[in-house]
Amino acid sequence: MTSLLSDERQADDLPDDDSNSPLLPSPAGQLTRRAFLAESGTTGIAGILASAPMAASVASAAQANADAAPPSSSMALALRVNGKPHALQVDPRTTLLDLLREQMALPGTKKGCDHGQCGACTVLVNGRRINSCLALALSHDGAEITTIEGLARGSELHPMQAAFIKHDGFQCGYCTSGQICSAVGMLREAEQGAPSHVTADVRRTGPMAPLSDAEIRERMSGNICRCGAYPGIVAAVREVSLAMPRAASSRRSRA
């Protein structure tokens, strides 16, 4: 574009060619506007035609390199997902999230940010909550994976699922599976005595339940709800948290 503008400015400085016929000769020793523009156009077209073979050569070389790239080898992976064993062949680069959604037809685990920042992809691995978008599937060979699809027992909802429905702890629902899985894992951490940033006495041992609202908000801060359904989420987790001491006492009595 700059070259064309420069050519036009240079052409403006040239004398006008009053002849309407390009066959009539110009005054001796004088470059006319018509001759200058004709020469500029010819040069530009020649440059474009000269660069075309080079562009075709570059594209051909890129395609040849792509065709020559060796295919990634798959590796064996054994997982127990929602109580069922699976033997799989996976690309070493596959994340646990993509494996669950694309190869195992478990779309309940959502892909949100894909950077481990929103928590929509949270699942339980050997009982602990993780962001599955940041975990390579092969790094969890032999693990027990629980997704949102595996929390219920048949038609009986998990207590956390029932509490979310009761307290309306969702709106669009996209983050809900991650919120519920995270809450289940978080309450297990609290039951094992793991403190949080807002725990008043970090030297305390034993179960942390029941949890205050401040504890629940802090421990669930890695799960984002863009709809803002936090009051219902906190209420649901609080209800299940309050029931934990009774459930633990019941387990001890049966033992």
Predicted pLDDT of residue 23:
47
| CATH class, 153-255 region | mainly alpha
What distance lies between CA 148 and its chain's CA centroid?
Answer: 19
* Bond before 210 cis per omega within 30 degrees: yes
Residue with tokens 């001796």: 28
* Strand (E) or helix (H) holding 37: helix 33-68
CA distances from 160 to 54, 109, 112 (A): 63, 16, 22
Domain with CATH 3.10.20.30 in the chain: 76-150
Q: What are the residue ranges of CATH 1.10.150.120 in the chain? A: 153-255
Torsion of CA 28, 32, 36, 42, to 10 degrees: -80
What is the model's pTM? Answer: 0.70
Dihedral-angle region of residue 127 (phi above 0 means left; psi in -120 to 50 means alpha; beta otherwise) = left
* Domain 76-150 coded CATH 3.10.20.30: yes
Cα separation, 175 vs 164, in Å, equals 12
Q: Token digits for 134?
A: 């940041």
CB within 8 A of 170, min separation 6: which ones? 164, 176, 179, 225, 227, 229, 232, 233
The full DSSP string for 128-156 is EEEEGGGSBGGGGTT-EEE-GGGTSBTTB
How would you write the pLDDT of the chain (255 residues) with one tens digit per residue? 555 445 555 555 555 555 454 445 555 556 677 776 777 666 666 566 566 666 566 667 667 665 655 556 899 999 999 999 999 999 999 999 999 999 999 999 999 999 999 999 999 999 999 999 999 999 999 999 999 999 999 999 999 999 999 999 999 999 999 999 999 999 999 999 999 999 988 888 888 878 999 999 999 999 999 999 999 999 999 999 998 765 554 545 554
Say what the pLDDT of residue 244 is: 76
